[in-house]
Structure 1
Amino acid sequence: MADGSGAVISLISRSPLDLTLPVLVSSAGERARLRFLEFFAAQIRNPNTRRAYARAVSDFLSWCADFGVTELTGVTPLHVATWIEFSGRTLSAPSVKQALAALRHLFDWLVTGQVLTLNPAASVRGPAHSARVGKTPVLEAAEARALLDSIDVSSPAGLRDRALIALMVFSFARIGAALTMRVEDVFVQNRRLWVRLREKGGKQHVMPCHHTLEDYLHAYLDGTGLAGEPKGWLFRTIQRGTGQLSERRLEQSDAHAMVRRRAKAAGIETAIGNHTFRATGVTAYLKNGGTLENAAAMANHASTRTTQLYDRRREDISLDEVERIRV
Structure 2
Amino acid sequence: MSTALAIAGSGAVPVLVTAAGERAGIRFLEFFASTLRNPHTRRAYARAVTDFLAWCEAHAVPSITAVQPLHVAAWIELQTQARLAPTVKQQLAAIRHLFDWLVMGQVVPLNPAASVRGPAHSVRKGKTPVLDPAEARTLLDSIDVTTPIGLRDRALIALMVYSFGRVGAALAMKVEDVFVQNRRLWVRLREKGGKRHEMPCHHTLEEYLHAYLDGVGIAGDAKGPLFRTIGRGTQRLTRTPLPQANAYAMVRRRALAAAIGTKIGNHSFRATGITAYLKNGGTLENAAAMANHASTRTTQLYDRRRDEISLDEVERIRV
- TM-score (normalised: structure 1): 0.96
Q: Paired residue for 2:183?
A: 191
Which letter does structure 2 place at the counterpart of 1:185? Answer: D
- Alpha-carbon offset, residue 17 of structure 1: 5.0
Q: Paired residue for 1:162?
A: 154
Q: Paired residue for 1:91?
A: 83
SS at match of 2:229: strand
Which letter does structure 2 place at the counterpart of 1:144? Answer: A
Which letter does structure 2 place at the counterpart of 1:172? Answer: F
| Distance 1:154-1:16 versus aligned 2 partners, 3 A rule | farther
The percentage of aligned residue pairs carrying the same residue is 74
Q: Paired residue for 1:46?
A: 38
Counterparts in 2 of 1:134-283, with a 5 A limit? 134-283=126-275
Residues paired across the two proteins, number: 318
1:19 pairs with 2:10: yes
Write the distance in 2 (CA, Å) between the matches of 1:90 and 1:10: 33
Is the contact between residue 7 and residue 32 of structure 2 (CA under 8 Å) also seen in structure 1? no
Q: Paired residue for 2:288?
A: 296
1:305 pairs with 2:297: yes
1:123 pairs with 2:115: yes
Write the distance in 2 (CA, Å) between the matches of 1:161 and 1:16: 31
CA offset digits 1:190-215 (Å, max 9, x no partner): 00000000011111000100000000
SS at match of 1:206: strand
Write the distance in 1 (CA, Å) between the matches of 2:80 and 2:246: 30
Write the distance in 1 (CA, Å) between the matches of 2:136 and 2:171: 20
1:66 pairs with 2:58: yes
Which letter does structure 2 place at the counterpart of 1:326? Answer: R
Which letter does structure 1 place at the counterpart of 2:276? Answer: A
Write the distance in 2 (CA, Å) between the matches of 1:73 and 1:200: 33
Write the distance in 2 (CA, Å) between the matches of 1:244 and 1:17: 36
Moved over 4 A (4+): none
Write the distance in 1 (CA, Å) between the matches of 2:34 and 2:69: 26
CA offset digits 1:172-203 (Å, max 9, x no partner): 00011001000000000000000000011111
Is the contact between residue 7 and residue 33 of structure 2 (CA under 8 Å) also seen in structure 1? no
SS at match of 1:207: strand
- Alpha-carbon offset, residue 131 of structure 1: 0.5
- Alpha-carbon offset, residue 18 of structure 1: 3.7
SS at match of 1:227: coil
Of 93, 97, 102, 1:110 maps to 102
Write the distance in 1 (CA, Å) between the matches of 2:87 and 2:112: 19
- Alpha-carbon offset, residue 29 of structure 1: 1.2
- TM-score (normalised: structure 2): 0.98
SS at match of 2:265: coil
Is the contact between residue 19 and residue 62 of structure 2 (CA under 8 Å) also seen in structure 1? no
- Alpha-carbon offset, residue 23 of structure 1: 1.5
Write the distance in 2 (CA, Å) between the matches of 1:281 and 1:209: 13
Write the distance in 1 (CA, Å) between the matches of 2:131 and 2:278: 14
- Alpha-carbon offset, residue 316 of structure 1: 0.3
Q: Paired residue for 1:6?
A: none
Is the contact between residue 4 and residue 30 of structure 2 (CA under 8 Å) also seen in structure 1? no
| Distance 1:112-1:16 versus aligned 2 partners, 3 A rule | closer
- Alpha-carbon offset, residue 241 of structure 1: 0.4
Which letter does structure 1 place at the counterpart of 2:266? Answer: N
Write the distance in 2 (CA, Å) between the matches of 1:236 and 1:66: 45
Write the distance in 2 (CA, Å) between the matches of 1:300 and 1:187: 19
- Alpha-carbon offset, residue 28 of structure 1: 1.9
SS at match of 2:115: coil
SS at match of 2:281: coil
CA offset digits 1:49-107 (Å, max 9, x no partner): 11111111011111111111111111111111111111011111011001101111000
SS at match of 1:83: helix
- Give ranges in structure 1 of 5+ residues lacking alignment: 1-8
SS at match of 1:88: helix
SS at match of 2:205: helix
